[in-house]
Protein backbone atom coordinates (compact mmCIF):
# COMPACT_ATOMS: atom_id res chain seq x y z
CA UNK A 1 0.00 0.00 0.00
CA UNK A 2 1.45 3.44 -0.88
CA UNK A 3 2.19 5.73 2.07
CA UNK A 4 -0.42 8.39 2.88
CA UNK A 5 -0.06 11.73 1.14
CA UNK A 6 2.00 14.16 3.22
CA UNK A 7 2.60 17.70 1.87
CA UNK A 8 6.25 18.84 1.85
CA UNK A 9 7.05 21.12 4.77
CA UNK A 10 3.94 20.16 6.74
CA UNK A 11 4.41 19.07 10.37
CA UNK A 12 4.49 15.33 10.91
CA UNK A 13 1.09 13.86 11.80
CA UNK A 14 0.44 12.66 15.37
CA UNK A 15 0.47 8.89 15.90
CA UNK A 16 -2.65 7.25 14.47
CA UNK A 17 -3.71 10.36 12.52
CA UNK A 18 -3.32 11.57 8.95
CA UNK A 19 -1.26 14.57 7.85
CA UNK A 20 -2.29 18.10 8.79
CA UNK A 21 -4.59 20.02 6.44
CA UNK A 22 -2.84 22.29 3.97
CA UNK A 23 -3.31 26.06 4.04
CA UNK A 24 -5.51 26.22 0.89
CA UNK A 25 -7.77 23.50 2.24
CA UNK A 26 -8.03 25.28 5.57
CA UNK A 27 -8.93 28.49 3.71
CA UNK A 28 -11.73 26.75 1.79
CA UNK A 29 -12.97 25.14 4.97
CA UNK A 30 -12.96 28.41 6.91
CA UNK A 31 -14.53 30.64 4.25
CA UNK A 32 -17.23 28.22 3.10
CA UNK A 33 -17.97 27.16 6.68
CA UNK A 34 -18.36 30.80 7.74
CA UNK A 35 -20.74 31.43 4.84
CA UNK A 36 -22.88 28.41 5.65
CA UNK A 37 -23.02 29.21 9.37
CA UNK A 38 -23.90 32.89 8.90
CA UNK A 39 -26.66 32.37 6.31
CA UNK A 40 -29.34 31.05 8.70
CA UNK A 41 -28.44 33.63 11.33
CA UNK A 42 -28.84 36.44 8.79
CA UNK A 43 -32.64 35.96 8.87
CA UNK A 44 -32.30 33.02 6.50
CA UNK A 45 -30.48 35.30 3.99
CA UNK A 46 -33.81 36.56 2.69
CA UNK A 47 -32.73 40.19 2.20
CA UNK A 48 -30.49 41.81 -0.41
CA UNK A 49 -27.52 42.81 1.85
CA UNK A 50 -27.17 39.33 3.32
CA UNK A 51 -27.54 37.70 -0.10
CA UNK A 52 -24.79 39.85 -1.56
CA UNK A 53 -22.58 39.17 1.47
CA UNK A 54 -23.12 35.42 1.09
CA UNK A 55 -22.20 35.64 -2.59
CA UNK A 56 -18.97 37.52 -1.80
CA UNK A 57 -17.95 34.85 0.71
CA UNK A 58 -18.80 32.11 -1.79
CA UNK A 59 -16.63 33.82 -4.42
CA UNK A 60 -13.76 34.01 -1.93
CA UNK A 61 -14.23 30.31 -1.17
CA UNK A 62 -14.06 29.54 -4.89
CA UNK A 63 -10.78 31.46 -5.23
CA UNK A 64 -9.34 29.52 -2.29
CA UNK A 65 -10.62 26.24 -3.72
CA UNK A 66 -8.91 26.87 -7.06
CA UNK A 67 -5.61 27.93 -5.51
CA UNK A 68 -2.79 25.96 -7.21
CA UNK A 69 -1.62 22.86 -5.35
CA UNK A 70 1.21 21.26 -7.35
CA UNK A 71 1.83 18.66 -4.64
CA UNK A 72 -1.46 16.92 -5.51
CA UNK A 73 -1.70 14.26 -8.23
CA UNK A 74 -2.72 15.83 -11.58
CA UNK A 75 -6.25 14.39 -11.58
CA UNK A 76 -6.90 15.70 -8.03
CA UNK A 77 -5.74 19.26 -8.66
CA UNK A 78 -8.49 21.88 -8.26
CA UNK A 79 -8.86 22.93 -11.89
CA UNK A 80 -8.93 19.33 -13.09
CA UNK A 81 -11.64 18.42 -10.59
CA UNK A 82 -13.66 21.54 -11.38
CA UNK A 83 -13.56 21.05 -15.16
CA UNK A 84 -14.60 17.43 -14.69
CA UNK A 85 -17.55 18.38 -12.47
CA UNK A 86 -20.80 18.30 -14.51
CA UNK A 87 -22.58 20.55 -11.97
CA UNK A 88 -20.07 23.31 -12.78
CA UNK A 89 -20.99 23.25 -16.47
CA UNK A 90 -24.68 22.87 -15.72
CA UNK A 91 -24.55 25.94 -13.49
CA UNK A 92 -22.84 27.97 -16.22
CA UNK A 93 -25.53 26.92 -18.70
CA UNK A 94 -28.31 27.84 -16.27
CA UNK A 95 -26.82 31.25 -15.47
CA UNK A 96 -26.33 32.03 -19.16
CA UNK A 97 -29.99 31.14 -19.71
CA UNK A 98 -31.18 33.39 -16.86
CA UNK A 99 -28.97 36.21 -18.17
CA UNK A 100 -30.80 36.01 -21.51
CA UNK A 101 -34.09 36.25 -19.61
CA UNK A 102 -32.81 39.34 -17.79
CA UNK A 103 -31.72 41.09 -21.02
CA UNK A 104 -34.92 40.17 -22.89
CA UNK A 105 -37.85 41.29 -20.68
CA UNK A 106 -41.34 40.88 -22.06
CA UNK A 107 -42.97 43.07 -19.39
CA UNK A 108 -42.04 46.03 -17.23
CA UNK A 109 -43.12 46.39 -13.60
CA UNK A 110 -44.81 49.75 -12.87
CA UNK A 111 -45.90 50.99 -9.43
CA UNK A 112 -47.50 54.23 -8.20
CA UNK A 113 -46.91 53.46 -4.51
CA UNK A 114 -50.45 52.17 -3.98
CA UNK A 115 -50.65 49.43 -6.61
CA UNK A 116 -48.57 47.90 -9.37
CA UNK A 117 -49.13 46.52 -12.85
CA UNK A 118 -47.23 45.17 -15.85
CA UNK A 119 -46.88 46.77 -19.27
CA UNK A 120 -45.63 44.82 -22.31
CA UNK A 121 -42.32 45.88 -23.86
CA UNK A 122 -40.61 45.02 -27.11
CA UNK A 123 -38.68 41.76 -26.95
CA UNK A 124 -37.52 38.76 -28.97
CA UNK A 125 -40.20 36.05 -28.53
CA UNK A 126 -37.86 33.38 -29.90
CA UNK A 127 -35.60 33.79 -26.83
CA UNK A 128 -36.27 33.29 -23.09
CA UNK A 129 -37.98 36.31 -21.52
CA UNK A 130 -38.37 37.80 -18.06
CA UNK A 131 -39.83 40.81 -16.27
CA UNK A 132 -38.06 44.14 -15.86
CA UNK A 133 -38.57 44.80 -12.14
CA UNK A 134 -36.68 46.33 -9.18
CA UNK A 135 -33.76 44.24 -7.93
CA UNK A 136 -34.79 44.61 -4.28
CA UNK A 137 -38.23 43.23 -5.11
CA UNK A 138 -37.29 40.30 -7.37
CA UNK A 139 -36.03 39.83 -10.91
CA UNK A 140 -33.71 37.50 -12.86
CA UNK A 141 -30.61 39.32 -11.60
CA UNK A 142 -31.69 38.77 -8.00
CA UNK A 143 -32.27 35.08 -8.78
CA UNK A 144 -28.73 34.88 -10.17
CA UNK A 145 -27.30 36.26 -6.91
CA UNK A 146 -29.27 33.76 -4.81
CA UNK A 147 -28.55 30.71 -6.97
CA UNK A 148 -24.88 31.50 -7.59
CA UNK A 149 -24.01 31.20 -3.89
CA UNK A 150 -24.86 27.47 -3.42
CA UNK A 151 -23.39 26.69 -6.83
CA UNK A 152 -20.07 28.33 -5.90
CA UNK A 153 -20.06 26.66 -2.48
CA UNK A 154 -20.70 23.23 -4.00
CA UNK A 155 -17.97 23.69 -6.61
CA UNK A 156 -15.52 24.98 -3.98
CA UNK A 157 -16.00 21.93 -1.78
CA UNK A 158 -15.84 19.55 -4.75
CA UNK A 159 -12.49 20.84 -6.00
CA UNK A 160 -11.00 22.36 -2.82
CA UNK A 161 -11.47 19.75 -0.08
CA UNK A 162 -9.52 16.51 -0.43
CA UNK A 163 -9.69 15.07 3.08
CA UNK A 164 -12.57 13.52 4.97
CA UNK A 165 -11.30 15.39 8.03
CA UNK A 166 -12.25 18.65 6.29
CA UNK A 167 -15.82 17.51 5.68
CA UNK A 168 -16.03 16.21 9.23
CA UNK A 169 -15.02 19.60 10.61
CA UNK A 170 -17.31 21.47 8.23
CA UNK A 171 -20.43 19.51 9.08
CA UNK A 172 -19.49 19.36 12.74
CA UNK A 173 -19.44 23.16 12.83
CA UNK A 174 -22.77 23.31 11.00
CA UNK A 175 -24.31 20.90 13.50
CA UNK A 176 -23.06 22.96 16.45
CA UNK A 177 -24.41 26.18 14.91
CA UNK A 178 -27.70 24.41 14.12
CA UNK A 179 -27.98 23.23 17.73
CA UNK A 180 -27.58 26.81 18.95
CA UNK A 181 -30.21 27.90 16.43
CA UNK A 182 -32.63 25.26 17.69
CA UNK A 183 -31.99 26.29 21.31
CA UNK A 184 -32.66 29.91 20.37
CA UNK A 185 -35.98 28.91 18.85
CA UNK A 186 -36.91 26.93 21.96
CA UNK A 187 -36.05 29.85 24.26
CA UNK A 188 -38.12 32.17 22.09
CA UNK A 189 -41.10 29.85 22.30
CA UNK A 190 -40.77 29.45 26.07
CA UNK A 191 -40.51 33.20 26.58
CA UNK A 192 -43.38 33.93 24.14
CA UNK A 193 -41.11 36.29 22.17
CA UNK A 194 -42.82 38.33 19.43
CA UNK A 195 -39.57 39.43 17.76
CA UNK A 196 -36.65 37.60 16.18
CA UNK A 197 -33.71 37.83 18.62
CA UNK A 198 -36.13 39.92 20.71
CA UNK A 199 -35.37 42.94 18.49
CA UNK A 200 -36.60 42.43 14.90
CA UNK A 201 -40.31 42.15 14.18
CA UNK A 202 -41.01 40.49 10.80
CA UNK A 203 -44.12 41.25 8.79
CA UNK A 204 -45.57 37.81 9.62
CA UNK A 205 -44.61 37.91 13.30
CA UNK A 206 -46.71 34.83 14.09
CA UNK A 207 -44.80 32.64 11.62
CA UNK A 208 -41.14 33.08 12.62
CA UNK A 209 -38.92 30.52 14.33
CA UNK A 210 -35.42 31.27 15.68
CA UNK A 211 -33.86 33.56 13.04
CA UNK A 212 -36.08 32.36 10.18
CA UNK A 213 -38.92 34.62 9.12
CA UNK A 214 -41.03 31.63 8.05
CA UNK A 215 -41.23 28.63 10.37
CA UNK A 216 -41.51 26.09 7.54
CA UNK A 217 -38.13 27.30 6.28
CA UNK A 218 -36.76 26.81 9.79
CA UNK A 219 -38.19 23.29 9.84
CA UNK A 220 -36.60 22.41 6.49
CA UNK A 221 -33.21 23.84 7.52
CA UNK A 222 -33.10 22.14 10.91
CA UNK A 223 -34.20 18.84 9.33
CA UNK A 224 -31.15 19.02 7.05
CA UNK A 225 -28.87 19.78 10.01
CA UNK A 226 -30.49 16.87 11.84
CA UNK A 227 -29.50 14.46 9.07
CA UNK A 228 -25.89 15.69 9.33
CA UNK A 229 -25.93 15.28 13.12
CA UNK A 230 -27.31 11.74 12.88
CA UNK A 231 -24.74 10.86 10.24
CA UNK A 232 -21.84 12.13 12.36
CA UNK A 233 -23.19 10.41 15.47
CA UNK A 234 -23.42 7.11 13.59
CA UNK A 235 -19.96 7.49 12.05
CA UNK A 236 -18.33 8.22 15.41
CA UNK A 237 -20.41 5.45 16.98
CA UNK A 238 -18.85 2.90 14.65
CA UNK A 239 -15.39 4.09 15.62
CA UNK A 240 -16.32 3.92 19.31
CA UNK A 241 -17.67 0.41 18.77
CA UNK A 242 -14.32 -0.62 17.32
CA UNK A 243 -12.48 1.11 20.21
CA UNK A 244 -10.78 3.63 17.92
CA UNK A 245 -12.01 6.56 20.01
CA UNK A 246 -13.98 7.34 23.14
CA UNK A 247 -17.74 7.88 23.37
CA UNK A 248 -17.59 11.69 23.67
CA UNK A 249 -18.20 12.51 19.98
CA UNK A 250 -20.99 9.93 19.66
CA UNK A 251 -22.79 11.19 22.74
CA UNK A 252 -22.24 14.83 21.77
CA UNK A 253 -23.65 14.51 18.26
CA UNK A 254 -26.51 12.34 19.54
CA UNK A 255 -27.43 15.04 22.03
CA UNK A 256 -27.17 17.66 19.27
CA UNK A 257 -29.51 15.54 17.12
CA UNK A 258 -31.99 15.39 19.98
CA UNK A 259 -31.89 19.18 20.45
CA UNK A 260 -32.22 19.83 16.72
CA UNK A 261 -35.04 17.29 16.42
CA UNK A 262 -36.85 19.09 19.23
CA UNK A 263 -36.34 22.34 17.34
CA UNK A 264 -37.88 20.82 14.21
CA UNK A 265 -40.95 19.83 16.20
CA UNK A 266 -41.38 23.30 17.67
CA UNK A 267 -41.29 24.86 14.21
CA UNK A 268 -44.71 23.18 13.85
CA UNK A 269 -43.82 22.39 10.23
CA UNK A 270 -45.91 19.29 9.67
CA UNK A 271 -43.96 18.11 6.64
CA UNK A 272 -40.56 18.62 8.29
CA UNK A 273 -41.71 16.73 11.39
CA UNK A 274 -43.07 13.86 9.32
CA UNK A 275 -39.99 13.59 7.09
CA UNK A 276 -37.62 13.35 10.08
CA UNK A 277 -38.29 9.63 9.84
CA UNK A 278 -36.25 9.32 6.63
CA UNK A 279 -32.77 9.84 8.21
CA UNK A 280 -33.79 7.57 11.09
CA UNK A 281 -34.83 4.87 8.65
CA UNK A 282 -31.59 5.39 6.74
CA UNK A 283 -29.57 4.72 9.91
CA UNK A 284 -31.32 1.40 10.50
CA UNK A 285 -30.97 0.27 6.89
CA UNK A 286 -27.38 1.49 6.66
CA UNK A 287 -26.25 -0.28 9.81
CA UNK A 288 -27.88 -3.51 8.62
CA UNK A 289 -26.26 -3.30 5.18
CA UNK A 290 -22.83 -2.47 6.52
CA UNK A 291 -22.95 -5.14 9.21
CA UNK A 292 -23.86 -7.71 6.59
CA UNK A 293 -21.14 -6.47 4.21
CA UNK A 294 -18.42 -6.45 6.88
CA UNK A 295 -19.38 -9.62 8.70
CA UNK A 296 -16.90 -8.66 11.40
CA UNK A 297 -18.88 -7.05 14.21
CA UNK A 298 -20.24 -8.92 17.16
CA UNK A 299 -23.90 -9.70 16.57
CA UNK A 300 -24.96 -8.38 19.98
CA UNK A 301 -23.32 -4.96 19.49
CA UNK A 302 -23.89 -4.09 15.85
CA UNK A 303 -27.16 -2.26 16.60
CA UNK A 304 -25.59 -0.12 19.32
CA UNK A 305 -24.48 2.44 16.75
CA UNK A 306 -28.00 3.00 15.46
CA UNK A 307 -29.63 2.80 18.89
CA UNK A 308 -27.88 5.72 20.57
CA UNK A 309 -28.92 8.59 18.22
CA UNK A 310 -32.32 7.08 17.46
CA UNK A 311 -33.30 6.62 21.10
CA UNK A 312 -31.98 10.04 22.09
CA UNK A 313 -33.98 11.71 19.34
CA UNK A 314 -37.18 9.76 19.88
CA UNK A 315 -37.13 10.27 23.66
CA UNK A 316 -37.04 14.06 23.42
CA UNK A 317 -39.36 14.07 20.39
CA UNK A 318 -42.05 12.26 22.39
CA UNK A 319 -41.77 14.81 25.18
CA UNK A 320 -41.77 17.72 22.71
CA UNK A 321 -44.84 16.43 20.92
CA UNK A 322 -46.83 17.09 24.07
CA UNK A 323 -46.87 20.71 22.91
CA UNK A 324 -50.48 21.72 22.39
CA UNK A 325 -49.74 23.86 19.32
CA UNK A 326 -48.09 20.96 17.50
CA UNK A 327 -50.95 18.60 18.31
CA UNK A 328 -53.46 21.18 17.18
CA UNK A 329 -51.80 21.61 13.75
CA UNK A 330 -51.77 17.88 13.11
CA UNK A 331 -55.31 17.48 14.49
CA UNK A 332 -56.66 20.20 12.20
CA UNK A 333 -54.99 18.54 9.22
CA UNK A 334 -56.45 15.13 10.13
CA UNK A 335 -59.94 16.50 10.85
CA UNK A 336 -60.24 18.90 7.88
CA UNK A 337 -57.58 18.10 5.26
CA UNK A 338 -59.45 19.78 2.41
CA UNK A 339 -60.02 22.96 4.39
CA UNK A 340 -56.47 23.05 5.74
CA UNK A 341 -54.67 22.45 2.45
CA UNK A 342 -57.38 23.54 0.04
CA UNK A 343 -55.94 26.97 -0.76
CA UNK A 344 -52.57 25.41 -1.63
CA UNK A 345 -54.23 22.98 -4.01
CA UNK A 346 -56.08 25.82 -5.73
CA UNK A 347 -52.90 27.91 -5.95
CA UNK A 348 -51.03 24.94 -7.41
CA UNK A 349 -53.76 24.47 -10.01
CA UNK A 350 -53.53 28.15 -10.98
CA UNK A 351 -49.75 27.91 -11.19
CA UNK A 352 -50.03 24.84 -13.44
CA UNK A 353 -52.24 26.87 -15.79
CA UNK A 354 -49.58 29.60 -15.74
CA UNK A 355 -46.90 27.01 -16.54
CA UNK A 356 -48.93 25.56 -19.42
CA UNK A 357 -49.00 28.94 -21.19
CA UNK A 358 -45.20 29.34 -21.20
CA UNK A 359 -43.79 25.87 -20.62
CA UNK A 360 -40.85 26.11 -23.02
CA UNK A 361 -38.99 29.22 -21.77
CA UNK A 362 -40.91 30.08 -18.61
CA UNK A 363 -41.86 33.46 -17.21
CA UNK A 364 -38.40 34.45 -15.99
CA UNK A 365 -36.35 33.55 -12.94
CA UNK A 366 -37.74 35.29 -9.86
CA UNK A 367 -40.78 36.49 -11.81
CA UNK A 368 -43.54 34.16 -10.60
CA UNK A 369 -45.07 36.86 -8.40
CA UNK A 370 -45.66 39.21 -11.33
CA UNK A 371 -47.60 36.92 -13.62
CA UNK A 372 -49.51 34.88 -11.05
CA UNK A 373 -52.27 37.48 -10.35
CA UNK A 374 -53.47 37.03 -13.95
CA UNK A 375 -54.32 33.41 -13.11
CA UNK A 376 -55.18 33.75 -9.43
CA UNK A 377 -58.04 36.14 -10.24
CA UNK A 378 -59.85 33.19 -11.80
CA UNK A 379 -60.10 31.70 -8.29
CA UNK A 380 -61.56 34.20 -5.78
CA UNK A 381 -60.65 31.98 -2.84
CA UNK A 382 -56.94 32.61 -3.36
CA UNK A 383 -57.25 36.05 -4.95
CA UNK A 384 -59.13 37.86 -2.18
CA UNK A 385 -58.43 37.80 1.56
CA UNK A 386 -61.08 37.64 4.29
CA UNK A 387 -61.17 41.46 4.31
CA UNK A 388 -61.77 41.45 0.51
CA UNK A 389 -58.30 42.77 -0.27
CA UNK A 390 -56.25 41.33 -3.11
CA UNK A 391 -53.73 38.75 -1.90
CA UNK A 392 -50.12 39.01 -2.96
CA UNK A 393 -48.44 35.68 -3.70
CA UNK A 394 -44.65 35.78 -3.71
CA UNK A 395 -44.37 32.01 -4.18
CA UNK A 396 -46.65 29.08 -4.82
CA UNK A 397 -46.39 26.40 -2.15
CA UNK A 398 -44.72 23.95 -4.53
CA UNK A 399 -41.14 24.32 -5.75
CA UNK A 400 -41.71 21.43 -8.15
CA UNK A 401 -44.07 23.75 -10.06
CA UNK A 402 -42.47 27.13 -9.43
CA UNK A 403 -39.00 26.36 -10.80
CA UNK A 404 -40.32 24.96 -14.12
CA UNK A 405 -42.81 27.83 -14.25
CA UNK A 406 -40.03 30.43 -14.05
CA UNK A 407 -37.38 28.62 -16.08
CA UNK A 408 -39.40 26.55 -18.51
CA UNK A 409 -38.42 23.17 -19.86
CA UNK A 410 -35.17 24.49 -21.32
CA UNK A 411 -34.05 26.07 -18.05
CA UNK A 412 -34.90 23.02 -15.97
CA UNK A 413 -32.68 20.70 -18.04
CA UNK A 414 -29.39 21.78 -16.35
CA UNK A 415 -30.95 21.34 -12.89
CA UNK A 416 -32.32 17.90 -13.75
CA UNK A 417 -28.93 16.91 -15.20
CA UNK A 418 -27.19 18.00 -11.99
CA UNK A 419 -29.58 15.96 -9.85
CA UNK A 420 -29.14 12.94 -12.10
CA UNK A 421 -25.36 13.21 -11.82
CA UNK A 422 -25.56 13.48 -8.01
CA UNK A 423 -27.72 10.34 -7.74
CA UNK A 424 -25.48 8.44 -10.16
CA UNK A 425 -22.38 9.49 -8.25
CA UNK A 426 -23.87 8.47 -4.90
CA UNK A 427 -24.76 5.07 -6.29
CA UNK A 428 -21.35 4.60 -7.88
CA UNK A 429 -19.40 5.33 -4.68
CA UNK A 430 -21.74 3.11 -2.63
CA UNK A 431 -23.13 5.84 -0.41
CA UNK A 432 -25.46 3.30 1.18
CA UNK A 433 -22.44 1.78 2.97
CA UNK A 434 -21.20 5.11 4.36
CA UNK A 435 -23.12 6.14 7.52
CA UNK A 436 -22.74 9.88 7.00
CA UNK A 437 -23.40 9.81 3.26
CA UNK A 438 -26.52 7.68 3.71
CA UNK A 439 -28.01 9.97 6.39
CA UNK A 440 -27.12 13.12 4.43
CA UNK A 441 -28.66 11.73 1.24
CA UNK A 442 -31.82 10.76 3.13
CA UNK A 443 -32.06 14.32 4.49
CA UNK A 444 -31.69 15.79 1.00
CA UNK A 445 -34.36 13.47 -0.40
CA UNK A 446 -36.67 14.45 2.47
CA UNK A 447 -36.21 18.12 1.56
CA UNK A 448 -37.08 17.34 -2.05
CA UNK A 449 -40.30 15.76 -0.81
CA UNK A 450 -40.94 18.80 1.41
CA UNK A 451 -40.54 21.07 -1.62
CA UNK A 452 -43.57 19.39 -3.19
CA UNK A 453 -45.87 21.07 -0.66
CA UNK A 454 -43.92 24.23 0.21
CA UNK A 455 -41.39 26.72 -1.19
CA UNK A 456 -38.43 25.61 0.94
CA UNK A 457 -35.86 26.10 -1.85
CA UNK A 458 -36.81 29.77 -2.09
CA UNK A 459 -34.90 30.25 1.16
CA UNK A 460 -31.18 30.80 0.33
CA UNK A 461 -29.94 29.23 3.59
CA UNK A 462 -31.91 26.03 2.97
CA UNK A 463 -30.83 25.87 -0.67
CA UNK A 464 -27.14 26.39 0.16
CA UNK A 465 -27.09 23.76 2.90
CA UNK A 466 -28.97 21.29 0.70
CA UNK A 467 -26.42 21.63 -2.12
CA UNK A 468 -23.44 21.41 0.25
CA UNK A 469 -24.89 18.40 2.06
CA UNK A 470 -25.44 16.56 -1.22
CA UNK A 471 -21.92 17.37 -2.46
CA UNK A 472 -20.50 16.40 0.95
CA UNK A 473 -22.34 13.07 0.90
CA UNK A 474 -20.89 12.22 -2.52
CA UNK A 475 -17.34 13.29 -1.60
CA UNK A 476 -17.39 11.53 1.78
CA UNK A 477 -18.48 8.25 0.17
CA UNK A 478 -15.91 8.77 -2.59
CA UNK A 479 -13.13 9.17 -0.04
CA UNK A 480 -14.39 6.08 1.80
CA UNK A 481 -14.24 4.09 -1.44
CA UNK A 482 -10.76 5.42 -2.18
CA UNK A 483 -9.52 4.22 1.22
CA UNK A 484 -11.09 0.81 0.62
CA UNK A 485 -9.14 0.43 -2.63
CA UNK A 486 -5.83 1.31 -0.95
CA UNK A 487 -6.29 -1.25 1.83
CA UNK A 488 -4.18 -4.43 1.78
CA UNK A 489 -6.09 -7.56 0.87
CA UNK A 490 -7.38 -9.55 3.82
CA UNK A 491 -7.19 -6.71 6.37
CA UNK A 492 -10.49 -5.42 7.70
CA UNK A 493 -10.50 -1.65 8.04
CA UNK A 494 -13.76 0.29 8.15
CA UNK A 495 -13.81 3.07 5.52
CA UNK A 496 -14.93 5.56 8.16
CA UNK A 497 -11.70 5.03 10.11
CA UNK A 498 -8.69 7.22 9.41
CA UNK A 499 -6.22 5.02 11.27
CA UNK A 500 -5.59 1.29 11.70
CA UNK A 501 -7.27 -0.61 14.51
CA UNK A 502 -5.40 0.32 17.71
CA UNK A 503 -5.83 -3.24 18.92
CA UNK A 504 -3.50 -4.25 16.09
CA UNK A 505 -5.82 -7.10 15.12
CA UNK A 506 -6.25 -8.27 11.57
CA UNK A 507 -9.68 -9.71 10.99
CA UNK A 508 -9.63 -12.04 8.03
CA UNK A 509 -12.60 -13.59 6.33
CA UNK A 510 -15.59 -13.64 8.73
Give the DSSP H or E segment for 108.
strand 105-111
Give CA–CA dist 438/286, Å, rounded.
7
Strands 116-120 and 105-111: antiparallel
Q: Is the dihedral of CA 275, 182, 48, 170 positive or negative?
A: negative
pLDDT digits (tens, 9 = 90+) for 59-114: 999 999 999 988 888 888 999 999 999 999 999 999 999 999 999 999 999 998 88
φ and ψ at residue 176, rounded to 5 degrees: -60, -45
| Cβ 219 vs Cβ 260: under 8 Å | no
Higher pLDDT, 209 or 495: 209
Give CA–CA dist 306/279, Å, rounded.
11
Of the ranges 227-231, 239-243, 266-270, the best mean pLDDT one: 227-231
Give CA–CA dist 229/235, Å, rounded.
10
CA of residue 286 relative to chain centroid, distance = 21
Higher pLDDT, 210 or 57: 57
| pLDDT at residue 341 in the model | 60
Buried b (16+ CB within 10 A) or exposed e, 85-106: bebbebbebbbebbbbbbbbbb
Closest to 364 (Cα-Cα) out of 90, 134, 179, 97: 97
Sequence-distant (6+) residues with CB within 8 A of 460 are 39, 44, 45, 46, 51, 54, 146, 149, 150
| pLDDT at residue 192 in the model | 83
Q: pTM for this structure? A: 0.87
| pLDDT at residue 15 in the model | 47
Residue 498 has pLDDT above 50, yes or no: no
Amino acid sequence: MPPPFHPPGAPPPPPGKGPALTAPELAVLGICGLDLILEPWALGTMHVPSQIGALILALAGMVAGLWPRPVLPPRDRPWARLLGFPVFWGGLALFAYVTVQAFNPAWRYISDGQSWWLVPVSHLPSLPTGVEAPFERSNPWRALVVWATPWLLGCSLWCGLHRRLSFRRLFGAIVIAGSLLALLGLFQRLSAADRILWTYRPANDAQFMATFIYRNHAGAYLALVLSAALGLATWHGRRWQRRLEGPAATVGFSFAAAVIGTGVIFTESRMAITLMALPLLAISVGVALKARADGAYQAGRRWLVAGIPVLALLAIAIVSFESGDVRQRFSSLAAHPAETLGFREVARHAAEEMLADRWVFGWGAGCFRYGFPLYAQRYPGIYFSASHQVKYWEHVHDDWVEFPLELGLVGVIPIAAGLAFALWRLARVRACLSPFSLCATAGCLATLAHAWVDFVFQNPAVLALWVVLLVGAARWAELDTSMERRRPAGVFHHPGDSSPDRLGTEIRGG
